[in-house]
Every structure is written in C-alpha cells, then in structure tokens.
Structure 1
Amino acid sequence: MNKLLSIVFLLLTISLTAQEKKPNYVAENYTKKEVHITMRDGSQLFTTIYSPKDTSKKYPIIMQRTPYSCSPYGLDKFDESIAPNEVMMKEGYIVVYQDVRGRYMSDGLYDNMRGFIPNKKNNKDIDEASDTYDTIDWLVKNVSNNNGNVGTWGISYPGFYASYSLLSNHPALKAVSPQACISDFFFDDFHHNGAYLLSYWKATPLFGPQKTKRTPDDWFTFPKTNTLDDYNFFLNAGPLTNLDSYMSKNDEFWQQLKDHSSYDEFWQKRGLLQHMKNIKPAVMFVGGWFDAEDLYGPLNTYQTIEKSSKNYNTIVMGPWSHGDWARNKEKQIIGNIYFGDSISANFQKNVEANFFHHFLKDNGKGENTLPEAYVFDTGKKEWKSYDAWPPKNTEKQGYYLQSNEQLTKVNSNDGTFEEFISDPKKPVPSSEDISQRGITPRKYMTDDQRFAAKRPDVLVFETEALDNDTTLAGEILAQLQVATTGTDADWIVKIIDVFPNSEPETKEIAPYLKMSNYHMMIRSEIMRGRFRNSFIKPEPFVPNQKTSVNIKLQDVFHTFKKGHKIQIQIQSTWFPLIDLNPQTFVENIFYAKKEDFKKQTHKVYNDSKIEFTILK
C-alpha cells in the first residue's frame, strides 16, 4: 500500500510540475518593455511594449489604450495572450498597451469620456486624440523594427479609445477596429434614450473616484448590496438618492450622472459622432446583435463615417453578446439560444486577422477579400455579405397595433386603444432570473418573454403564423400614439420571434422552459417619455391627451421563418434593467422623492405602428 501511495504521489508531483512549467508563448517569443511616454503637456502615460524576439524583419504596431489597466506590471510578468487574437499574436506584431491618462500607472486626471477639442490652441489643450497622436509619434520613432504602420483596436471602453484614435490624424495610423465602441454615453451603456440603466449602477465606481498616485492596483471599491436578488434590492432601496449611501463620497461619475439627467452640454461635448468627418485610416467596426451594453456605438459610428468620409469603412455584426467575438468558446450560445460552432474563432482568423494584415503588413495592396458588411442572420443562423449596410434591396413596411392583440399591415382606423395600469411598486421584471452575472447583462437579450406576456401591465400584439420567411435587415421605428393619466412615463417596445408549437427541443434550453412556443426577444428599446421631443429639453405629458412617441430601435438582421409569428410587447417598466419613472413629472428623476412615484393608467392607440426594414 505504501508503495502504491508513493507512486500516486510521484505522478501527482509530475503532473503539478508540468502545469507549473506550461510554456507561455508570449514570454518565449516576445520581449517586454515598460516606459512612460511624455505627452505634449508634460504628463507621462504608462505603456507596455511587447516586441517579437525575431528581429530579422520589421513589424507593424498594434495598440490598445485602456482605462482597465495594462497589467501584468513588471518586466518579468508576461500576459498569456496579447494582440487582438491568437492568430495575430503568432503571426508577429509589436503589441502595445497603454493606461490612459489618469488611470493606474499613468499621470494626470481621468475624465470619463473626455471631450474632443477640434481646434487646439496650445499644448494645454489635450484630449484622447492628442494623447494617441503623441503616443504613436513616440512609438514609430523609438521602437526598433517597426515598419511605420500602426493599428489600434479595443472592445467596449478600449473600443471608445480606438474610435477616438481616428481623430488623432497621425499619418502612421493605417487601420482601426473599434469593437463594441461607445460613441455617446447618453445613448450607450448608462443611458438609453434618456432612461438610466440601473443595471450598470454597480459598475459606477469603475469610473468614479480619482486616484492620488501611480498605482498598479485598484483604488475603488464596488458597492456591497448583501443580496443576490437585484430586483428586490433596488425595489426596497426606493428612489435613486437612497443609493448614495452605497457610494464613495468622492465618486465623481455618480455625481455627474445625478446632476446631468438630460442631454446637456456635459454629455454633448463628450460625444464622438459629430466629429467623425474626413476619416483617413481603414476602419472595421465590430459588434454583437445581442450586446446589451454597446450596440448603439458601432452601428451609428459606422453609419456616420459612411456618410462623411471616403475611407475604407466596414462593419461586422455577429450573434454575440458583449465582447464574445474575442473569446474562444467553441459553441456560441446567448441565453437559451444556440447559434453555431467556432463562430468567434472564424471571425478572429478569417476576418479580424486578415483586416489588420492587409492594411498593416501589405500596406493595403493586393486583393482584399473582406466585404463591406459581414452580418449574421440570427433567425436563419448564417452569415451574409453585402456591399452596404443596411442592404440596398430593402423596403419599409408598417405593422399596426390592432385590437384583440393583433399585429397587421392594415390599420382599421377604428379609434380604439389598449390600456394597462403601470405601478412603480410592482414593475415588470426585465428577466425571469433573480440576478445577473457580472456587470453586463447578457442573457436577457434573447430571453423567453412568455413570463412578461402573461402580465396585465404588458400589451401584446401578434401576427398570424407567417406564410413565408420574413427578414428584417436594418433599423426599426416604433411610432406610438399614447396617453397617460400622469405627466411622465417610459415606453418600452420589444420585438419577439414566437416559435411554432412544433419547434424541436434543444440541449441549450433551460430545464424549466421549452422551445415549443418560445418567445425569443430579438430587439428592445426604451424611450423616457419626457424626451419624446427633445433630449435637451424634457417636457411633461398633458394628462389623458393623445401624444406621439417615436422610438428608434437599433438595427437587426433576423429572419422570422415560415410558421413563426412576429410579436410586439409594449410596457412602461423594465426592472431592474432600467430605473423607475415616477410617472409624475419632476425636474430630475435622480432626485425624485418617494411620494413622486404614482400608479398611472397608460393607453396605446390602435393607429400606432411599428415600421420594419424588410429585405426584399
């Protein structure tokens, strides 16, 4: 027995030793350098540079600027994976990471979504474009074996800095890939059409307090709610002012959110879209159709550049949630829905790597096999290529919200309406789940909506089973005619694919659900009613007066298959994804009091319609 135990111990020791000595590709093939690069105003930004050990040839530089730390810090500490993907890491690039101004090991003050200064007058006029320019200029002049071409990329907030790099106008910048990029914080992440995304409240400290010195460690802490039941926590917390006690008193971002509840100058000057003109580098936008965090950014920045510039400008939209395309999961699953195998790996190898290789290694010469728009049909579960997005062969079709829960192409003009009572004390859940994992909500984007359809405060409108496939390819516009007994209200529109009763079961479906009659949400959006005419100047509703409310829903590419139904759900609470509207008009909802929150009756008139972009 003792001999057997000795053998087992020896095998275990060998196994652990092998794990400890698992080779690190980056450490074996790259050298690492850490520098502080001086900006034009004297501030120094911490920068990590990974250079291939093979110095027999020159390499392009690929850079990511981030507020999330470019750890691991230390010349003897190597990340296990660098560059946008493994293909590029092994192909060979000079890979650069930088802590942006005011973050971690970089100097200066951090400004969340720092505004762009188009006409800089002196070296004190700094922004992320000038910091990018100064960094690129130093890199091409001081890093050995670079070929003079620079690319930038990033996902989410680093995607914002990638977009921002387009405004640097450095001649060495040749290729940029903003991915899930923020373009305007009043329409991405923390706000949707003026409504505050309560689901991101826990993430606020990421951008709030300033650090006091260079540090490789986090200096902020996240709020502790002591419960996994988010719905119950936020409902019991009451008005938003009651959340102050969970936040640090020096959390600048929380205070900014509270003090700037409309699209005022504070938010306007932080937007990037208005500056995206005459762009020169090649650009590839990447996003996920089920990205709850940053869907507005890639779609709208792509469209803006398409209209204002003559550069190479492409877009890739896949069946991903936030950042999935950079992960290496074999199966692509969102919630209960399976979309296919190796979808992200295919993108990394055959799209992303090819884009940067073509423009950074081949100098944009030779054949470029990438399409203008490479998009995934989330109904048919297949990729399509188009020479424009949305495709040129589309048409607008209106579907009316009719009596008896009907969704039809014909408006009966009978002057009728549907109504429901919206009670802030019993809001419609945004998901059946008790809590979300991590900061970003993901699963709800394809969730089964039968739980909501059964509630009396959710209106449902549905077509008959479709005789033919119907493909939506582009934006959706909800043109609602509504009234309320109150003076404010939120209006939420959800587009749902109702599967037939005969739909086969899948391994991915939750054990308490069935694919038979599954109500798959494919797009949803909210409009905070006070902003129906202007995001700058909110205004109350006149009680019981019929009023127009238009809601633009972001693009979709989804085929409703023959035998499926198109369903629309309308509601006025979506909790705790979105904060509660008091339903009585107050100047600033962040400072609303408990007594401001009132139960109200809402009407949706049957001449309301949903305008789809239909592929011919």
Structure 2
Amino acid sequence: MTIRTEFPCRIVEQEDMGIVMPDGCRLSARVWMPEDAGVRPVPAVLEYIPYRKRDGTLPRDEMMHPYVAGHGYACVRVDMRGNGDSEGLMADEYTQQEMDDAVAVIDWLSRQAWCSGAVGMMGKSWGGFNCLQAAFNQPPALKAVISVCSTTDRFADDIHYKGGCLLGENFGWGAVMLSYSSRPPDPVLRPDWRRMWMERLEAEPWLAPRWAALQERGAFWKHGSVAEDYGRMQTPVLIWGGWADNYMNTVAHLVENVPAPCKGIVGPWVHQYPHTAVPGPQVGFLQEAVRWWDRWLKGVENGAEHDPAYRVWMMHSAPPDASAKVRPGHWVAEAEWPSPRVSRQVLQLGAARGAGASQGYLGRDEGAEGFALTVATPQHLGLKAGEFFPMGLNAEMPGDQREDDALSLSFDGDVLEAGLDLLGAAELRLRVASDRPLGFVVARLCDVGPDGASVRIAHGMLNLCHRESRERPTPMVPGEAVEVAFTLDQMAYRVAPGHRLRLALSNSYWPFVWPSPEAGRLVVTGGSLALPVHAGSAAEWVPPPAEHAAPWKHRVIRAGRTRRFVEEDLIAGTYALIVEDDLGDAENLTHGLCSGETMSERWEIRPDDPLSAKAVHVWEQRLSRGDWSVRTRAEAEMTATAAELRHKAVLRAWEGEVLVFERTWDDSVPRRFV
C-alpha cells in the first residue's frame, strides 16, 4: 500500500459547506477541491451517506477524497438529512425525500462557480445504493457513477430478505441504525446542536419491525430497486463487488442489463473499498476511479469505455479461513457478459452410492431419480456461516463448513481429476415436499478437500412460500411435492484436482436466517444443479497497485478489542454466537472531537426449538471534547412466537452524566410467510 502526498493539483478544504434544499433544510458538506477551482472550474464528485463525515467515515474519507481532488475534482462529502451535521430528520432508508435531496444536491453542485457543470457520484453500501438510484432518476448534471457493494433489488439482495427468507441482519441493521442515528451534530459546527439532537431522538424510528412486516416484494421494496427498469440506467456505471460480501450479485446483473456503458470488477473482498479491503490482493481503486471520472466527467479519451465488461478474481482452492488475509487466485477479464466462455454443466441429485439412505450423490447420471431423502436440520446449524457483510479479519467470513455439512443433507460429487473453473451463478432445481406450511431451504455449494475440510463457494436460499411468486407468496400444502428452482450467488472459483464438490441442503441457517415457526421436515425426491463452467483462463488483467492519500491525524485514547465465539450451554441446551466489538476511543487531532463505539451481539437458540431463537444487540456511541460529552445506548431484542415476530428496543441518551432522553419500543409483527 502506497501513501500519496503529492498530487497534480494543490487542494483546499472547507469543513462545513451549506447546501440548502428546496424546503429550506440545510445539508452539511465537507469539500476538497483544487485551490484554483474558482478560476478553472472542475467536475464535482459527490458521496452522500448518513454515516457522519465529522467522525464516522472520516478515516476513510481522508484517504480517498483528497486523492481524487488532487487529480482535478471537487470532492463533496454530504451528510444526509437528519444525520451528522445536517438539519432535518430521517424516516427510513432510500425514501423519496432522500432521493429528491440527492437530485437537488447534484443540481446545486453543477451550478457552483467552481464546478464545470459535470457531476459524478460514488459510494459504498448505502452510498452505492443511492448513486445507482440517482442514475435511475436521471438528473441532467449526473454524468457517471461509481458504486461499491450495492444492490439492484432491495428485496432479493439486501440485508432484509434473501430468497424471501427473513435475514437475521434485518434485525441487526435496525439496531445499528437506531444507534448510528442517535448522535448529535458537532457543537463546533452547530451551535444549536442540542435542539437538533433532541428533535432527532424524539423522531428516531425503530425500523426492524417495519421491515419485518413487509414479507413480500411489494411497492416498498420496488421503490429504489433499479432492477425495476434497467432501461432508465442511461448514466455510465463502474460497479465493484467482493466475493466475501453478500452484494456480489449486483455486478453481473448491472453489466448484463444496463444499456449505458457499464463495467464491473469483483475481487475477493469483504464489505470495504477495494484499496483497503481484505482478503487481498487489494487493487488501485482510486486510480481506476480517477480514470473513470476523467473519461466521463472531463471527456478524456482514455479508453475506459473499451475495458473488459467483467473483471473478476477467480479464487483458487485454499483451506477454510474465516479471517483470511489473502485469497489465492488470478484475474479473469471477460470482454462481454454473459461470456461465451461459460457453459452449463448439469449434475443430477441422487441417492448416495454404497452409503446410508440419509446422504446423496451429485453426478451426471441421467437415471438419478427414484429416491426420497429428508432435510430436517437442527436449529443451530449455520454458526460458521459468517456475516452478511463482513468488514474485516474478525472471523466474519465463512469458516470450515464440515460441521454444518454433517448436519445437512449432502450430495457429494466425484473426486475431480482435472479440476474445475466456475464463473457465474449455479441454478438448483428440486422436487420437494414439506410437512409444514411455512419453511425454507438453504443450499451451500462447497469445495471439499482431501482432508475433509469444506469451503463455502456460494450459497442460495428459497422461502418455499415464494416458490411461484415473490409478489404473491403462498404457504405450502403439507405433504404435496412441488418443483422449485432458485439460483445460488455469483461465484468465480477454481476447484483444485483431488477435491470434490458438495451440495449441502438444510432447512435451518442460524443466525443468517430467522427460523421457521416450526421445525419442519422436507423430503427431496429429485433435483439437479446446473453449474456455470468456465473454459479456463490464465492471468488476464493486471490492476494498478493500491494507494491512497495520507490517513487521518488522531490519538488513540483507549485501544479496542474484538471477540467472536460460539457458546454451548450444557445445562440449558442452547448454542449462542457471541460478538463483542469494542472500537475503543480516539481523538481527532485536527478538530479535537473524541469518539468511540462499543457493540455486543448475542444470537441464541436451542437445536430442537425454533421458537427459542433470541437475538440481543447493544450499541453504545460516545462523543466528547473538553468539558462537553454525550453518550447514547441502544438495546434491541428479537424473539418470536408461532404467530408473531417480537421486536423490543430501548434508546437512552446522556449529556455528561445526566440522562436526558429515554424511549422504549415493543412491536409485534404477524408471521404471514416467514
């Protein structure tokens, strides 16, 4: 990693530029631009998120935005309405108000004397979502976007639902936002900070039950999903993803469907920007960003539009490692996507050869029908599944799958003599009956080494109520066999010679998926797995090396500590995944604000009882400077009965040692399809 301190342009910074919305709400922006932009206007690049520019994303902002600004751009980091140092209130994610504000900010930027009139938009996660949404809304000044770790479909590929299954992260993210949005502005920038803080706290939404109530793909989820009409995507898009992040499907979807110039890059990374993300190798994301902006915001004929459509890191077989620093592999560059180098190889599911009736075989045999195998997995299966969006090296990626495999219905393929390259999404077809009206099936495609270690290549899942329609789910008829089909996640993976493929099926996946109301039993009587087999490749792209601007100046007041472990209570008969993440406390040496954050999660369940599932999350946020200090604590709990999902929360706020705010929520959501 190279730290750059010299750039083509000398830059100046403004820490609080006000951008007033049509309704009078003032948004706060931190801006870096060339010092002569007033006489030589430059394009603007906008990042627009709720994660607080003054403390939250500041460490990464200072490594990225001065770098891009130093190459002749005005980089504008805006706190979204109701967050950080911006006025107003935030009601939910991706609201019409949020989108309207984005369009208004883009228009405002294009009309400033220091702006050339061309605007680009970039962002990761929430910021990646809203730059795609901005492109969908087609503001005239928006000329290009760069999106990282985002989605095209808010119901199919976000933290709420996957395959119609309610994700544990729906609750988890609700707890995160309850905490994140509870903090006040910085008094140095907002003398009326306390009034703004009290207004925020009084209006603070508890979003987890709101999202959990929306169990079909209706208007709420379609809003903000660019997949609703790819034809509206007329703005050039550079889209990035990571195989260790659960937004990996977006890249292929956009490259295949967007009519504007669209290029996709997927590395081995977690939910971070590619110049700092693990597992390695990191790449020169910022150089690629500047190249994209040069082409579409400045009109530089650098050939960016002729780059390969889809560049991916094809991972090679390696031992399972939930904290992998590097994933071996090579870069594949596809001139077009879908690629003519990928063909479909169909493997049949059948009863295992020479084994007990409880396990299956995965092979090319055409006569593999005539079996009946049961999926009735214990509720604690999935403790090594990893996070929906892992952030780093704290054992957040999928670990060794062999324990879960042993509890699943597993179909094993033959040992591969020549190895196998996979690029794309596998499709699973099953003939299956359920003894309960509500239930789901999870499929994991694994790479099994000669020593029995199992690495998850990709997974997919289907809420069986969604077997015919995501918009109009219907419960299963107990005992009635149906044909279902669903795709697993996109992948790029080279399985080594001497290894074998395994398809593992389960009807539990804790805590990744919230359990069904009853411990059901599925009977599989047929099926096939269509694999995307690549013709083979060598190293086909050499990305620029990772580099960034100087990191933030800070002093560590108290170092952090992270723990992640599984607890088995031999008396209560419970299993629990426990995460303790103390980020410590640090002082910003530029403006003196001290900040800190502490989080704990507990996901507990009994193997024989889905209604024993319980999640408890606690978040604390700390801000101080001199004699001034504030603290917020958000406590959230989720449980369920056979008929309802229960969400409780408490939010407290202190000014100094005085409790100044307290609010509780207790919401019950009917279980219609989950």
The TM-score range, normalised by the shorter chain, is: 0.7 to 0.9
Q: Contact 2:159–2:173 (CA<8 Å) still a contact in 1?
A: no
Question: What does 1:584-599 align with in structure 2 at a 5 Å threshold?
Answer: 597=518, 599=519
Q: Percent identity?
A: 19
Deviations 1:366-391, CA, capped at 9 Å, x for gaps: 43363221111112700011111231
Deviations 1:285-316, CA, capped at 9 Å, x for gaps: 10011203x234444344331xxx2x211111
Structure 1 counterpart of 2:568? none
What is the CA-CA distance between 1:523 and the residue it aligns to?
A: 0.4
- 4+ aligned runs moved over 6 Å, structure 1: 22-28, 77-80, 209-214, 435-442
Choose the corresponding residue for 1:172, options 127, 141, 146: 141
Q: Is it true that 1:372 corresponds to 2:309 in the alignment?
A: yes
Residues of 2 paired with 1:97 and 1:557: CA distance? 34
Choose the corresponding residue for 1:49, options 5, 24, 31: 31
Structure 2 counterpart of 1:384? 332
Residues of 1 paired with 2:413 and 2:59: CA distance? 52
Deviations 1:175-227, CA, capped at 9 Å, x for gaps: 211111133332211211221221452331344599799734999xxxxxxxx
In the alignment, residue 513 of structure 2 is paired with which amino acid? I
Deviations 1:146-171, CA, capped at 9 Å, x for gaps: 33322111000111111112034233
Residues of 1 paired with 2:220 and 2:448: CA distance? 42
Q: Contact 1:107–1:214 (CA<8 Å) still a contact in 2?
A: no
Residues of 2 paired with 1:600 and 1:147: CA distance? 61
Structure 1 counterpart of 2:382? 429
Q: Contact 1:427–1:574 (CA<8 Å) still a contact in 2?
A: yes
What is the CA-CA distance between 1:354 and the residue it aligns to?
A: 2.1
Choose the corresponding residue for 1:545, options 480, 491, 510: 480
Structure 2 counterpart of 1:603? 523
Q: Is it true that 1:106 corresponds to 2:82 in the alignment?
A: no
Query: SS at 2:209's partner residue?
Result: helix
Normalising by structure 1, what TM-score?
A: 0.73
Q: Contact 1:290–1:445 (CA<8 Å) still a contact in 2?
A: yes
Seen in structure 2, the aligned counterparts of structure 1 residues 485 and 24 have a Cα distance that, compared at 3 Å, is: same
Deviations 1:248-274, CA, capped at 9 Å, x for gaps: 996341231232222233223342321
Structure 1 counterpart of 2:559? none
Question: What does 1:425-574 align with in structure 2 at a 5 Å threshold?
Answer: 426-431=379-384, 443=395, 445-455=397-407, 458-499=408-449, 501=450, 516-574=451-509
- More deviation in 567-576 or 28-37? 28-37
In the alignment, residue 492 of structure 1 is paired with which amino acid? V
In the alignment, residue 367 of structure 1 is paired with which amino acid? G
Query: SS at 1:166's partner residue?
Result: helix
Stretches of structure 2 lacking an aligned partner (at least 5 in a row): 188-192, 195-200, 317-327, 353-359, 536-674
What is the CA-CA distance between 1:69 and the residue it aligns to?
A: 1.6
Choose the corresponding residue for 1:135, options 87, 105, 110: 105
What is the CA-CA distance between 1:493 and the residue it aligns to?
A: 0.3
Residues of 2 paired with 1:486 and 1:441: CA distance? 39
Query: SS at 1:82's partner residue?
Result: helix
Residues of 2 paired with 1:95 and 1:104: CA distance? 18
Question: What does 1:118-267 align with in structure 2 at a 5 Å threshold?
Answer: 126=97, 128=99, 130-144=100-114, 146-187=115-156, 188-208=158-178, 215-216=185-186, 251-267=205-221
Structure 2 counterpart of 1:506? none
In the alignment, residue 523 of structure 1 is paired with which amino acid? A
Q: Contact 1:417–1:603 (CA<8 Å) still a contact in 2?
A: yes
Structure 1 counterpart of 2:373? 418
Q: Contact 1:479–1:609 (CA<8 Å) still a contact in 2?
A: yes
Q: Is it true that 1:393 corresponds to 2:341 in the alignment?
A: yes
Seen in structure 2, the aligned counterparts of structure 1 residues 318 and 31 have a Cα distance that, compared at 3 Å, is: same
Q: Contact 1:209–1:251 (CA<8 Å) still a contact in 2?
A: no
Residues of 1 paired with 2:126 and 2:484: CA distance? 31
Seen in structure 2, the aligned counterparts of structure 1 residues 80 and 54 have a Cα distance that, compared at 3 Å, is: farther
Residues of 1 paired with 2:217 and 2:394: CA distance? 26
In the alignment, residue 96 of structure 1 is paired with which amino acid? V
Residues of 1 paired with 2:58 and 2:4: CA distance? 11
What is the CA-CA distance between 1:574 and the residue it aligns to?
A: 0.6
Q: Is it true that 1:346 corresponds to 2:284 in the alignment?
A: yes
Residues of 2 paired with 1:131 and 1:304: CA distance? 27
Q: Is it true that 1:315 corresponds to 2:250 in the alignment?
A: no
What is the CA-CA distance between 1:450 and the residue it aligns to?
A: 1.0
Deviations 1:78-107, CA, capped at 9 Å, x for gaps: 868437477535434211011223333333
Aligned residue-pair number: 500
Seen in structure 2, the aligned counterparts of structure 1 residues 153 and 52 have a Cα distance that, compared at 3 Å, is: same
* RMSD of aligned alpha carbons: 3.5
Seen in structure 2, the aligned counterparts of structure 1 residues 203 and 210 have a Cα distance that, compared at 3 Å, is: closer
Seen in structure 2, the aligned counterparts of structure 1 residues 200 and 28 have a Cα distance that, compared at 3 Å, is: farther
Determine which structure has the larger strand proportion and give its number. 2
Choose the corresponding residue for 1:355, options 289, 292, 316: 292
Structure 1 counterpart of 2:228? 274
Structure 1 counterpart of 2:18? 36
Q: Contact 2:109–2:117 (CA<8 Å) still a contact in 1?
A: no
Stretches of structure 1 lacking an aligned partner (at least 5 in a row): 1-21, 117-125, 220-246, 334-339, 502-515, 583-596
Determine which structure has the larger helix proportion and give its number. 1
Deviations 1:379-423, CA, capped at 9 Å, x for gaps: 270001111123123222211121113110123244112114344
Query: SS at 2:136's partner residue?
Result: coil
Normalising by structure 2, what TM-score?
A: 0.67
In the alignment, residue 403 of structure 2 is paired with which amino acid? F
Residues of 2 paired with 1:23 and 1:453: CA distance? 47
Query: SS at 1:69's partner residue?
Result: coil
Structure 2 counterpart of 1:325? 274
Residues of 2 paired with 1:213 and 1:563: CA distance? 54
Seen in structure 2, the aligned counterparts of structure 1 residues 575 and 186 have a Cα distance that, compared at 3 Å, is: same
Residues of 2 paired with 1:388 and 1:189: CA distance? 29
Structure 2 counterpart of 1:234? none
Structure 1 counterpart of 2:557? none
Query: SS at 2:207's partner residue?
Result: helix
Seen in structure 2, the aligned counterparts of structure 1 residues 432 and 195 have a Cα distance that, compared at 3 Å, is: closer
Residues of 1 paired with 2:471 and 2:147: CA distance? 28
Structure 2 counterpart of 1:581? 516
In the alignment, residue 32 of structure 1 is paired with which amino acid? Q
Question: What does 1:88-107 align with in structure 2 at a 5 Å threshold?
Answer: 88-107=68-87
Residues of 1 paired with 2:432 and 2:116: CA distance? 60
Q: Contact 1:66–1:99 (CA<8 Å) still a contact in 2?
A: yes
Choose the corresponding residue for 1:300, options 247, 253, 274: 253
Query: SS at 2:231's partner residue?
Result: coil
In the alignment, residue 365 of structure 1 is paired with which amino acid? E
Residues of 2 paired with 1:86 and 1:443: CA distance? 32
Residues of 1 paired with 2:369 and 2:182: CA distance? 65
Query: SS at 2:521's partner residue?
Result: strand
Structure 1 counterpart of 2:641? none
In the alignment, residue 454 of structure 1 is paired with which amino acid? A
In the alignment, residue 156 of structure 1 is paired with which amino acid? S
Seen in structure 2, the aligned counterparts of structure 1 residues 101 and 326 have a Cα distance that, compared at 3 Å, is: farther
What is the CA-CA distance between 1:38 and the residue it aligns to?
A: 2.2
In the alignment, residue 515 of structure 2 is paired with which amino acid? L
Residues of 2 paired with 1:498 and 1:91: CA distance? 47
What is the CA-CA distance between 1:281 and the residue it aligns to?
A: 2.5
What is the CA-CA distance between 1:29 and the residue it aligns to?
A: 4.0
In the alignment, residue 67 of structure 1 is paired with which amino acid? P
Q: Contact 1:65–1:98 (CA<8 Å) still a contact in 2?
A: yes
Q: Contact 1:445–1:522 (CA<8 Å) still a contact in 2?
A: no
Query: SS at 1:540's partner residue?
Result: coil
Structure 1 counterpart of 2:62? 82
Seen in structure 2, the aligned counterparts of structure 1 residues 134 and 613 have a Cα distance that, compared at 3 Å, is: same
Seen in structure 2, the aligned counterparts of structure 1 residues 257 and 566 have a Cα distance that, compared at 3 Å, is: same
